[in-house]
Amino acid sequence: MSAAAAVVAAGALVVAGLGAHAGAAAGSSLKDLAEAKGIYFGTAMTQTDLGNASLTAVAGAQFDMVTPGNEMKWDTVEPSRGTYNFGPGDRIVSFATAHGMRVRGHNLVWHSQLPSWVSSLPTNQVQAAMESHITTTATHYKGQLYAWDVVNEPFNEDGSLRQDAFTAAMGTGYIADALRTAHAADPAAKLYLNDYNIEGIGAKSNAMYSLVQSLKSQGVPIDGVGFEAHFIVGQVPSTLTANLQRFAALGVDVAVTELDDRIQLPANSTALAQQATDYSNVVKACLAVSRCVGVSQWGVGDADSWIPSAFPGYGAATLYDNSYQPKPAFEATATALGGTPGTPTPTPTPTDPGGASCKVTDAVNTWNTGLTENITITNTGSTALAHWALAFTLPGGQAITSGWNATYSPTSGNVTATNVSYNGTLAAGASTTIGFQATHTGNAAAPAAFALNGAACSR
């Protein structure tokens, strides 16, 4: 229920805490309403989404938590052993930071979207590979994430443990090992187990319940359980609140992490009305449980949802239609969060499109072991930005030691420079200059791959 504490990452010069705004229901966006109730309202977003201006306008205006849809999964982050690719995840974090949103990291260990090199390893090498993956990934994002789904979807439907490369190598113990390893790398991130079909009381949720109880009794660092909530319209389990409550009573946070509610297409008004009731019931269940920290839906609008490809003939599962117009479920969600029924639905903030358009000019001054870099960012789009985050890649061997007019995190590799309080507004056509000092080991070249609020910049 609490606002995120500001956390300072080792290796980061300054990391702004992204605490919830205090109280105000003004504007009646989902995030304002949720924050007034002490929870967050989030959405999944993918890299592709960042280039969609209608989507980013809605996302930035309505949601205060982002879960990367695919960008932090093992197959993206470490496609071959020891080779890490944080660019896609960093771009989601930059978007979130630029829009005052927090981020749920998703995920560190999962049987799916697991690169084949992991499942092909000899059993006695899996633990070391898992631990390095967790340590490197959680260290990279240290201080930047609200939470991690450390282990995703560990159970079969009957409550037995899913057999995969991790159980083959370590048995059930891989879960405690993964949680301990993640905690060592990023002690401030809330560590979750996340699964689907555990929303109501049944064999699978009982298995998760027993696991959490056992982990807590062993002192394993576990902070929360994520209930994905991929529902079919009209089938929200009646035991949802009671189930969330019994987990909370174990001493963990609970969250609805991937909410959607699929409808057989074409969606008629009866189904859309039932969907509105379903969304409302899910929000009410979270509000009824004091340790329920928030609700996230899976994809901003129906056009971004995984449902039509995974369940042919079904879709219309989110709060927004294919044109990002709010559906009946949106108003029901806002009302369940304490908004006034019939209030005109908020329109996305036109001054703050996520997909920016930008130009960067930069100048480097170097000496044998150091350099200074000044970067001028120009908003070449036609609308003002209310916040910005400039992502870029530092050449190998360079490490930022101090900076001006922005906060820089992390200090090497894929860096994000985030506006400070006095230069977040960037009018159409306006420029702002930031800079930093860095050490180098021979390569004093300028950074590459500048992107502002997720959109690539010209040089």
Please report, to the nearest 10 degrees, the dihedral formed by the alpha carbons of residues 109, 115, 116, 119 taken in order.
-10
**Backbone φ, ψ for residue 305 (5° rounding):** -85, 145
Q: At closest approach, how far in Å is the CB of 446 from ligand G2I?
A: 32
Cα(394)–Cα(359) distance, rounded to whole angstroms? Answer: 18
Q: Are 356 and 434 in contact (CB under 8 A)?
A: no
Report the site for ligand G2I in 51-70 (rule: CB under 6 A).
69-70
CA distances from 402 to 373, 409, 411 (A): 11, 11, 9
85 binds ligand G2I (CB under 6 A): no
174 CB-near residues (< 8 Å, 6+ apart)? 109, 127, 130, 151, 166, 167
228 binds ligand G2I (CB under 6 A): yes
Q: At closest approach, how far in Å is the CB of 340 from ligand G2I?
A: 33
Report the site for ligand G2I in 410-449 (rule: CB under 6 A).
none
Residue 315 has, within 13 A of its CA and on its CB side, a CA count of 15
Among 80, 113, 163, 443, binds ligand G2I (CB under 6 A): 113
Q: At closest approach, how far in Å is the CB of 91 from ligand G2I?
A: 15
Nearer to ligand G2I, 299 or 328 (CB): 299
Nearer to ligand G2I, 305 or 378 (CB): 305
Q: Return the SS3 of 54.
A: helix
Nearer to ligand G2I, 88 or 403 (CB): 88
Among 258, 278, 331, 373, binds ligand G2I (CB under 6 A): 258
* Active-site residue, from 71, 153, 199, 331: 153
Among 174, 306, 330, 450, binds ligand G2I (CB under 6 A): 306
* Active-site residue, from 71, 258, 331, 373: 258
Q: Return the SS3 of 406.
A: strand
Q: Tokens for 97?
A: 């930071």
Q: Are 410 and 141 in contact (CB under 8 A)?
A: no
Q: At closest approach, how far in Å is the CB of 391 from ligand G2I?
A: 20
Q: At closest approach, how far in Å is the CB of 258 from ligand G2I?
A: 5
Respond yes or no: is residue 258 known to be catalytic. Answer: yes
Catalytic residues: 153, 258
Sites of contact with ligand G2I (CB under 6 A): 69-70, 112-113, 152, 196, 228, 258, 306
